[in-house]
Structure 1
Amino acid sequence: MTPSPLFRSRPDKGPLTGLSAVVTGGSRGLGLLLAEQLLRRGCAVTVAARDEEELDRAREFLLRQRPGGRVRTAVCDVTDRAAVAALMGGAADAFGGIDVVVANAGVIQVAPVESVGSDEFRSAMDTIYLGAVHAALEALPWLRRSRPGGRLALIGSVGGLLAVPHLLPYSAAKSAVAALAEGLHAELRGDRVSVTAVHPGLMRTGSHLAAEFGGDQAAEFAWFSALAGAPLVSMDARRAADRIVTAVERRRPRIVLTPLAKAAGLTHGIAPALTTRLSALAVKVLPAPPGSGNVVALHKGHAVEGTAERELHPVLRRLRGWGSTLNDRAARRLNQRTRPAAGGH
């Protein structure tokens, strides 16, 4: 498909106007809002995820927000480098090149370490870390050819700046993404390709429904969904997406979102022993693992939600009710309230 030359050459109305962008994990949650922000700023956007039906709903959402916008979708498993190569080639063919890439695909596993096995760590590394590696390596030839200079954003997490209890597979993979972003930033400076490391704290994206829960699944679901939606702790996801795309637009090397995440990252950098001790104290108030010692299959938040409402202790039920209202609302808006497949955060 040959792009319209009018689209690529129309007068510039901003740094991103007329550029071609790719967002992996873009069918729901934060990824969907990042695609929306890129579209609003004049990009032609290719949204990639594993689930075709989810992608169809994402396209409808984006075109409602931006009628007439240039949006295409692509089914892609980011753990498969050949599939990512095909994704980038298709986006370049459709829109005359690639100028912006956001690697956002991820999975979240919430469980004590006694309730996860090596498969959970491998899944997190394959999707979060290798997914970012594949996106970066396959995008680079196109980003190097971008006339204004390419922009690459890797979505990490505060969980990649310090280890978060009951999120160890996620934290380990996000830590690897943080190192990848820093290394690419240093090595690509001479190639006119900017690399932005993005480390959000908790955001109201509805991710509690797509996350996987182990151990005492109802209790794990309760604390995670409550904190991820608590107004004083978490951040509005659309505001977060706006700040992330602004950082990419301005070629900032690093952005950390939410005051709590900034404080945690700074404290860990200055006094890592202190934050490690505080994490150990946090474990004492998190749900205890089941006594059997057997690792059982983790279940998605969609499956755990109903059980949690029935089985939770009244105190935990009130905690979930207090913190998760805004997050449940975000889930309905951001394509999370349906059958999940590995996609965005």
Structure 2
Amino acid sequence: MARAPHDRLEGKVALVTGSSRGLGLLIARELARRGCRVLLCARDGTGLERAERMLRAEGGRVCAMACDVTDPEAAERLVGTATATFGGLDILVNNAGVIQVGPFTAMTEADFREAMETMYFAPLRLVRTALPALRERGGARIVTIASLGGRVPAPHLLPYAGAKFALTGLSEGLRAELAAEGISVTTVLPGLMRTGSHTAALFHGRPDREYAWFATAAGMPLLSMDAQRAARAVDRAAERRRPELVLTPVAKAAVRLHGVLPATTARVLALGARLLPGPGAVPDRGVPGREAARRLGSAAVGRLTVLNDRAAQRLNQRVGP
């Protein structure tokens, strides 16, 4: 059966946060390829310019705005730019995020606050600000890029998991409340994806050892998913107004196990935590992935992360010029 015009993505206006690199860049690219006009947003202005040039070279109708989504005024600026440039807003994709890897004792309260500001309060402000514009358009959509960590709290990722738990609850609640207005909300729960994010994550405690396990897991084909496939799945889910999308077989199995056997899941997670590196001497500010990799200096880990390293190059995962 043919889809109604308001169900098709062609001609829609989309705002994608965190879209200068990684999964956000790929989601924006897929939307542009489907005929959407897309506003890109990220903190790194140089990387954002590269992303904009990349998508325009492919024929995408895009514009870019550099801003930090944790700025309380960012939501007004972003929604205002989208409506002024493209005449409205149909699709809001909350994708911006930060990843901090390490044991709880190596984290500071500031790490948890940064995670919550970026991955909970910023999406909350954007939804509140965008609602009037979304209500004006038939078939509006909100897409929330949460995480498997928003259902199953992986150890050594507590700031990330805590913020994603909150974001998942917000997204599912919004779907229930906005359904009567014709606004669909899709909650995406990805597992590990080969986006090159291991190069941009911050590693705490013993950065080299934390990098070794995280980068290796994120780059292994059996554990992680090709990011391009993930982006296509996200856009299809948004088009079809799916309430939830869980990405990667491992993530699907973990969500089901946690739902049916939560005590067993807790025991598995506790065992996994024992196998991870111990804490450093004191809480620290974290080391970027590239520096952690340099400190580790492991050719074996380098071989295991080669697919994810290539993804980092393709998906603009470099900072500055």
TM-score (norm 2): 0.96
Contact 1:228 1:323 in 2 (8 A): no
Q: 1:4 matched to which residue of 2?
A: none
**In 2, Cα distance between equivalents of 1:14 and 1:134:** 26
Q: 1:44 matched to which residue of 2?
A: 37
Q: 1:268 matched to which residue of 2?
A: 258
Structure 1 stretch displaced more, 170-179 or 131-140: 131-140
Alignment of 1:1-345 (within 5 A): 15-64=8-57, 66-67=58-59, 69-146=60-137, 148-290=138-280, 292=281, 294-309=282-297, 318=300, 320-339=301-320
Q: CA deviation at 1:339?
A: 4.0
Contact 1:200 1:261 in 2 (8 A): yes
Contact 2:11 2:36 in 1 (8 A): yes
Structure 1 stretch displaced more, 238-247 or 124-133: 124-133
Secondary structure of the 1:55 match is helix
Structure 1: which 4+ aligned runs deviate by more than 6 Å?
none
Q: CA deviation at 1:13?
A: 11
Alignment-mate amino acid for residue 134 of structure 1:
R
Q: CA deviation at 1:134?
A: 1.5
Alignment RMSD:
1.5
Alignment-mate amino acid for residue 195 of structure 1:
V
Q: CA deviation at 1:14?
A: 7.7
Contact 2:40 2:64 in 1 (8 A): yes
Secondary structure of the 2:38 match is strand
Alignment-mate amino acid for residue 168 of structure 1:
L
Alignment-mate amino acid for residue 239 of structure 2:
E
Secondary structure of the 1:39 match is helix
Contact 2:141 2:183 in 1 (8 A): yes
Secondary structure of the 2:305 match is helix
Q: CA deviation at 1:281?
A: 0.2
Structure 1 stretch displaced more, 70-79 or 331-340: 331-340
**In 2, Cα distance between equivalents of 1:84 and 1:43:** 20
**In 2, Cα distance between equivalents of 1:115 and 1:177:** 24
Contact 1:23 1:104 in 2 (8 A): yes
Identity %: 49
**In 1, Cα distance between equivalents of 2:96 and 2:278:** 29
Secondary structure of the 1:152 match is strand
**In 1, Cα distance between equivalents of 2:8 and 2:176:** 23
Alignment-mate amino acid for residue 317 of structure 2:
Q
Contact 1:78 1:134 in 2 (8 A): no
Contact 2:96 2:118 in 1 (8 A): yes
**In 2, Cα distance between equivalents of 1:339 and 1:327:** 20
Contact 2:108 2:284 in 1 (8 A): no
**In 2, Cα distance between equivalents of 1:59 and 1:92:** 18
**In 2, Cα distance between equivalents of 1:14 and 1:123:** 36
Contact 1:226 1:322 in 2 (8 A): no
After superposition, the C-alpha distances for 1:71-109 in whole angstroms (9 at most, x for unaligned) are 100112111232111111111111110001100000000
Contact 2:150 2:165 in 1 (8 A): yes
Q: Structure 2 vs 1, CA of residues 221 and 36 (structure 1 numbering), >3 Å: closer, same or farther?
A: same
**In 1, Cα distance between equivalents of 2:112 and 2:257:** 26
- What residue ranges of structure 2 are gaps of 5+ in the alignment? none
Alignment-mate amino acid for residue 309 of structure 2:
D
**In 2, Cα distance between equivalents of 1:203 and 1:63:** 25
Secondary structure of the 2:93 match is strand
**In 2, Cα distance between equivalents of 1:105 and 1:338:** 16
**In 2, Cα distance between equivalents of 1:289 and 1:13:** 52
**In 2, Cα distance between equivalents of 1:211 and 1:161:** 21
Q: CA deviation at 1:272?
A: 1.1
- What residue ranges of structure 1 are gaps of 5+ in the alignment? 1-11, 341-345
**In 1, Cα distance between equivalents of 2:239 and 2:277:** 41
Q: CA deviation at 1:322?
A: 4.1
**In 1, Cα distance between equivalents of 2:304 and 2:154:** 19
